[in-house]
Amino acid sequence: MIYMKTKREIDLMRESSRIVAEVLELVGNHVKPGVTTKELDSLAEDHIRSRNGVPAFKGYGRRENPFPASLCTSIDAEVVHGIPGNRALREGEILSVDVGVKKNGYYGDAARSFSVGTVPEKKQRLLRVTEEALAKGIEQARAGNRVEDISHAIQLHVESNGFSVVRDLVGHGVGKKLHEEPSVPNLGEQGKGELLKNGMTLAIEPMVNAGTWEVRFLPDGWTVVTLDGEPSAHFEHTIAIVNGRAEILSQ
């Protein structure tokens, strides 16, 4: 079931999403060679709690294996859900950071990929194309369109630039829960999927690989990596459809 949000609910989501945006800005300012992902995670959690928010990812998931951190920090071939630790960042890597915040009962969720120092041209292009794909998907998040209009726009831009969209992981609705219906795939056919309406709130998140779209899970039960070891990038925004068009809440 898709939960339509009132103006008040969207305002509450705007607050949690604003904290998400602040965290990504803060973390991005500290991404450099030699910094550990655990240090970045600590910065993020401190900021979230200072704004009276709750880290949405910490403790999320199955009872026997809850996610242990506030950030997902994924390096190079790690697509998503990387676990922060004592691994120091190295020059030339891509770091993808995903963060969720719950405040006043509503969630915000966004992700951004950063260059660690100077990265090779192919990685620069991967970052640029992934962020552009997110923008193109958001452009299609209009009342009267369908979910796969978003998906198709993302897929078309990514594949026309020689990269591939991850097929096994998708965007999602967001609001009172971190993950709600509908699913928002990163590939699809125009005119297919759920009808988009005012009051819908979505987390749109292209995950783009430099090589094959295929991925696998590591034994930790969380980290997803590219099957061929090629790098991946991830950008995400929480949006609300207001007055027929997408408003980015996590800006």
Q: What is the pLDDT of residues 148-198, one digit of tens each?
A: 999 999 999 999 999 999 999 999 999 999 999 999 999 999 999 999 999
Two tokens at 75? Answer: 């390096």
pLDDT in the model for residue 32: 98
Range of the domain at 110: 7-248
Query: How many domains does the chain divide into?
Result: 1
Average pLDDT over residues 135-139: 98
Average pLDDT, the chain: 98
Average pLDDT over residues 123-134: 98
Q: Is residue 169 part of a domain?
A: yes
The answer to whether 225 and 215 have CB atoms below 8 angstroms apart is yes
The answer to whether 249 and 108 have CB atoms below 8 angstroms apart is yes
Q: Is residue 220 part of a domain?
A: yes
Torsion over CA of 131, 112, 125 and 32, rounded to 10 degrees?
160
Q: What is the pLDDT of residues 59-84, one digit of tens each?
A: 999 899 999 999 999 999 999 999 99
Share of the chain above pLDDT 70, in %: 100
CATH number of domain containing 32: 3.90.230.10
Share of the chain above pLDDT 90, in %: 100
Q: Is residue 2 part of a domain?
A: no
29 CA to centre of own chain: 18
Q: Is residue 162 part of a domain?
A: yes
Two tokens at 164? Answer: 């591939």
Average pLDDT over residues 223-227: 98
Q: What is the pLDDT of residues 33-58, one digit of tens each?
A: 999 999 999 999 999 999 999 999 99
Q: Is residue 54 part of a domain?
A: yes
Q: Is residue 1 part of a domain?
A: no
Ramachandran angles phi, psi of 7, nearest 5°: -60, -40
